[in-house]
């Protein structure tokens, strides 16, 4: 595979951009080799600067659930641009998207738009603190909530592989208010709450974590957290930046039937534009400025282009429920196919899967939390990643990320991916 152009771009980029990238995992550090520079994307494909074509299994880390360059979204963006790119004033479209979000995610009664998932989680925790008058919050090891200071404690995603789970720059003062518990361990959460009675403002979690690879909530875990929060006056925040509008129109909370107090959203909600949102119970959301005392603002929040893209995406998804069925089918076929090969070869592995997200961990342990996820053979994953890439399949460049499928994947793509999988595994083990 010729990637000369990508190589020289990467070389040049490092002169002007830290590490040559604007977000760490893109540098391929966890899997070795040079990152590909992408020129364009269409449907299920990415094209790099050397004109190599890849089947996409990242989809911009989630947003491109319909595949790239979807006409419904592109047309909405182009139409919006004709009226100007930013006003910093309210627009009618912002009401439309807020109303649609509230309809799709019934626990969200009011919603505030922001510009990224990071902003959404930072704002939601601030709001929970302001609302409860308490300072501490609980997060789970290996869950990732963006790069807000108070979340960079035992954080997942790139923070695992970049070797900075407790990033320098996060002060001890900030860190002391972030309490940790292992995912799926309700008793541990209860103990933390017990030890910090009346001090815990919020419990924030990825209801289905995708940032330590995909991990599923065990029976009763989400329900148990809901009950605990009710008993203790704690705000339950579901971070659905990845899972929102992906696992179902109403996200993981719809799939598991557990209702959080606040929900953070991102990725799909922007149709590929930089958007996030947080919303939930009216009573809590009305604590946000200008009605309430908790300050949160944004020059470009509710930006007309981003809003048009997000609206087109959510509109499409709410009117085409068959998309979710197709994604589930594609996911099930891929997972069954990959498992079939692994079983035939007698390899140790664990696969986790829900709808259009799945992970293949190279470990014999059942993966239920960060500790068990970390038993995976990351060196072997690196080889698998490179072998797949060589065969035209673009996987997330880390063992600790979920795959994201798009509705643009066809039977032919599935067949190609499964062939590449078998050939790759045969090459590396």
For ligand PMP, the binding residues (CB under 6 A) are 61, 116-118, 121, 144-146, 157, 206, 211, 239, 241-242, 266, 276
Closest residue to ligand PMP, Cβ-based? 117
Whether residue 177 lies in the annotated active site: no
* 200 vs 241, beta carbon nearer ligand PMP: 241
Instruction: Name residue 111's beta-bridge partners.
Output: 279
Name the helix (H) or strand (E) containing 278: strand 276-280
Q: Cα dist. 176→152, 200, 341 in Å?
A: 12, 12, 46
Q: Cα dist. 179→118, 139, 169, 199, 201 in Å?
A: 19, 6, 18, 11, 11
User: Residue 184 and residue 194: Cα distance in Å, rounded?
Assistant: 18
Q: How far is the CB of 131 from ligand PMP (least distance, A)?
A: 20
Catalytic residue of the set 239, 358, 369, 384: 239
* 116 vs 123, beta carbon nearer ligand PMP: 116
Q: How far is the CB of 346 from ligand PMP (least distance, A)?
A: 34
* 144 vs 385, beta carbon nearer ligand PMP: 144
User: Residue 31 and residue 381: Cα distance in Å, rounded?
Assistant: 7
User: What residues contact residue 256 under an 8 Å CB cut-off, 6+ apart?
Assistant: 207, 217, 222, 223
* 61 vs 221, beta carbon nearer ligand PMP: 61
Catalytic residue of the set 54, 144, 278, 358: 144
Please give the backbone phi and psi of residue 55, each rounded to the nearest 5 degrees, phi first: -80, 130
Q: How far is the CB of 73 from ligand PMP (least distance, A)?
A: 18
Mode of pairing for the β-strands spanning 403-404 and 393-394 = unpaired
Output the six-digit token pair for 331: 């996911």
Instruction: For residue 11, count other CB atoms closer than 10 A to its CB.
Output: 11
Q: How far is the CB of 377 from ligand PMP (least distance, A)?
A: 24
* 249 vs 266, beta carbon nearer ligand PMP: 266
Q: How far is the CB of 70 from ligand PMP (least distance, A)?
A: 20
User: What residues contact residue 367 under an 8 Å CB cut-off, 6+ apart?
Assistant: 213, 215, 350, 352, 359, 361, 373, 375, 376
Output the six-digit token pair for 177: 């208010």
Q: How far is the CB of 401 from ligand PMP (least distance, A)?
A: 9
Whether residue 103 lies in the annotated active site: no
Whether residue 239 lies in the annotated active site: yes
Catalytic residue of the set 139, 267, 374, 383: 267
User: Annotated catalytic sites, by residue?
Assistant: 144, 239, 267
């Amino acid at each position: 595979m010729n990637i000369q152009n990508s190589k020289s771009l990467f070389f040049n980029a490092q002169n002007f951009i830290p590490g040559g990238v604007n977000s760490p995992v893109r540098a391929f550090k966890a899997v070795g080799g040079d990152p590909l520079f992408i020129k364009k994307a269409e449907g299920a494909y990415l094209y790099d600067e050397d004109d190599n074509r890849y089947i996409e299994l990242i989809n911009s880390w989630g947003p491109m659930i319909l595949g790239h360059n979807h006409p419904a979204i592109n047309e909405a963006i182009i139409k919006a641009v004709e009226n100007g790119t930013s006003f910093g004033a309210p627009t009618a479209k912002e009401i439309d998207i807020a109303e649609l979000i509230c309809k799709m995610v019934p626990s969200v009664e009011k919603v505030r738009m922001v510009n990224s998932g990071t902003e959404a989680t930072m704002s939601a925790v601030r709001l929970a603190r302001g609302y409860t008058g308490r300072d501490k919050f609980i997060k789970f090891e290996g869950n990732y909530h963006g790069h807000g200071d108070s979340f960079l404690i035992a954080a997942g995603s790139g923070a695992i592989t970049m070797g900075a789970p407790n990033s320098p720059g996060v002060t001890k003062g900030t860190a002391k208010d972030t309490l940790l518990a292992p995912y799926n361990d309700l008793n541990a959460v209860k103990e933390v709450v017990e030890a910090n009675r009346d001090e815990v403002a919020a419990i924030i979690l990825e209801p289905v974590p995708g940032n330590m690879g995909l991990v599923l909530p065990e029976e009763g875990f989400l329900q148990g957290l809901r009950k605990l929060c009710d008993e203790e006056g704690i705000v339950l925040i579901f971070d659905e930046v990845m899972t929102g509008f992906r696992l179902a129109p109403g996200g993981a909370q719809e799939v598991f039937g557990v209702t959080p107090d606040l929900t953070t959203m991102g990725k799909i909600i922007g149709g590929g534009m930089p958007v996030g949102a947080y919303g939930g119970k009216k009573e809590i959301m009305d604590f946000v400025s200008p009605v309430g005392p908790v300050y949160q603002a944004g020059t470009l929040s509710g930006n007309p282009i981003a809003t048009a893209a997000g609206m087109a995406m959510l509109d499409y998804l709410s009117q085409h429920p068959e998309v979710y069925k197709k994604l589930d089918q594609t996911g099930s076929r891929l997972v069954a196919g990959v498992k079939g090969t692994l079983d035939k070869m007698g390899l140790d592995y664990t696969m986790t899967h829900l709808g259009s997200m799945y992970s293949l961990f190279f470990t014999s342990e059942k993966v239920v939390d960060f500790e068990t996820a970390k038993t995976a053979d990351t060196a072997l994953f690196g080889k698998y990643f490179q072998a797949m890439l060589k065969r035209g399949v673009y996987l997330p460049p880390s063992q600790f990320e979920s795959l994201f499928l798009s509705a643009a994947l066809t039977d032919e793509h599935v067949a190609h991916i499964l062939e590449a999988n078998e050939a790759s595994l045969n090459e590396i083990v």
